[in-house]
Amino acid sequence: MTTLTAKDKQTVKAFWAKVSGKSEDIGAAAVARMLVVYPQTKTYFSHWQDQSPNSPAARKHGKTVMMGVGDAVTKIDDLKEGLKELSQLHAFTLRVDPANFKILSHNILVVMAVMFPTDFTPDVHVSLDKFLAALSLALAEKYR
Amino acid sequence: MVEWTDFERDTIQDIFSRIEYDVVGPAALARCLVVYPWTQRYFGGFGNLYNAAAIKGNPMVSKHGTTILHGLDRAVKNMDDIKNTYAELSVLHSEKLHVDPDNFKLLADCLTIVVAAQLGNEFSGEVQAAFQKFLAVVVSSLGRQYH
């Protein structure tokens, strides 16, 4: 389910090249949506004074997450190796239940549809969905 | 029984009064067939589903997409009893069509994406939450009569 074909990698890189300029906005919007649509995800951010979806902390977190996604695009040929340290961070420090990776991925896709309706074609959608799934798997690699 | 806030009721009525059924329906089904290609198993008689372009241009896909979307009308009109509204359709999907109910969620996700693309920034987080809640109730009702 997570082997990316050459076409997938090409599609993801090309789409990312188009949208990466807005990566902060994408990240902020995806995190905001996640906090609103899946309120259980707020449990990971109890340390934020302001847990509202558009707070400075939430925006900053969106930026951080998308920087990770952008980095993963450059490591698309070996995500497991490339995301080794991030996986350790999520496994031992953050301990985010991997089910949440799927939730955030879904919201990233929704944001792509909202912000780039003509570019986010079904072909781009399937490759990006596969990429985010592969990314999530690589992030969960060190969990157990 | 599902509890709906006024915001949720208004949002659902609003979305379905605004979307173009013969654009959104076909786009959602086509997207589902591309993004989750195993769903093509239910459409053996639809002819050419070889690639995204073929799926998008396939008139049977378009027609069926519109049909499916209109199928949601009854839920939109009967939000307080979606479960019973879809009892018969659930039996149909189980006994006659033999559709794995996991597929309902896949189509619902594609519908969310297509509506998001149509409504743009008006598809706020709150609107998305209401829409996804509505679709979750529909999906659950459609799977209820399986045994």
Q: Average of pLDDT values for B16-31?
A: 97
Residue A20 pLDDT: 96
Say if the Cβ atoms of B125 and A32 lie within 8 Å: yes
Q: What DSSP letter does each residue of A3-21 carry, written as one string?
A: PPPHHHHHHHHHHHHHHGG
Q: Is B117 on the interface with A (CB under 8 A)?
A: yes
Residue B1 has pLDDT above 90, yes or no: no
Instruction: Give the pLDDT confidence of B45-58 residue by residue, as tens digits.
Output: 999 999 999 999 99
Percent of chain B with pLDDT over 90: 91
Residue B147 pLDDT: 86
Nearest to B24 by CA among B67, B75, B74: B67
Distance of residue A83 Cα from the nearest chain B Cα, in angstroms:
25
Instruction: Give the pLDDT confidence of B77-136 residue by residue, as tens digits.
Output: 999 999 999 999 999 999 999 999 989 999 999 999 999 999 999 999 999 999 999 999
- Residue B91 CA, distance from chain mean position: 17
Residue B17 has pLDDT above 80, yes or no: yes
SS3 B54: helix
CB A57 within 8 A of CB A50: yes
Residue A26 pLDDT: 98
Residue B86 pLDDT: 96
b/e map of B99-125 (b: 16 or more CB within 10 Å)?
bebebbebbbbbbbbbbbbbbeeebbb
Residue A2 pLDDT: 65
Instruction: Give the pLDDT confidence of A56-75 residue by residue, as tens digits.
Output: 999 999 999 999 999 999 99
Say if the Cβ atoms of A125 and B35 lie within 8 Å: yes
Task: Give this complex's ipTM.
Answer: 0.85
Residue numbers in B near A104 (CB within 8 A): none
For B106, which DSSP code? H
For A111, which DSSP code? H
Indicate which of A11, A26, A38, A114 best probes the interface with B, i.e. most B CBs within 10 Å of its own CB: A114
CA distances in angstroms from A8 to A4, A25, A82, A131, B25, listed in the order given: 6, 24, 18, 8, 26
Nearest-CB residue to A122 (from B30, B109, B119): B30
CB A19 within 8 A of CB A118: no
Residue A1 has pLDDT above 90, yes or no: no
Residue numbers in B near A109 (CB within 8 A): 113
Nearest-CB residue to A123 (from B34, B120, B132): B34
Q: Average of pLDDT values for A108-133?
A: 98
Say if the Cβ atoms of B128 and A126 lie within 8 Å: no
Q: Average of pLDDT values for B31-56?
A: 94
Indicate which of B19, B20, B29, B31 best probes the interface with A, i.e. most A CBs within 10 Å of its own CB: B31
Distance CA(B35)–CA(B114), nearest Å, equals: 13
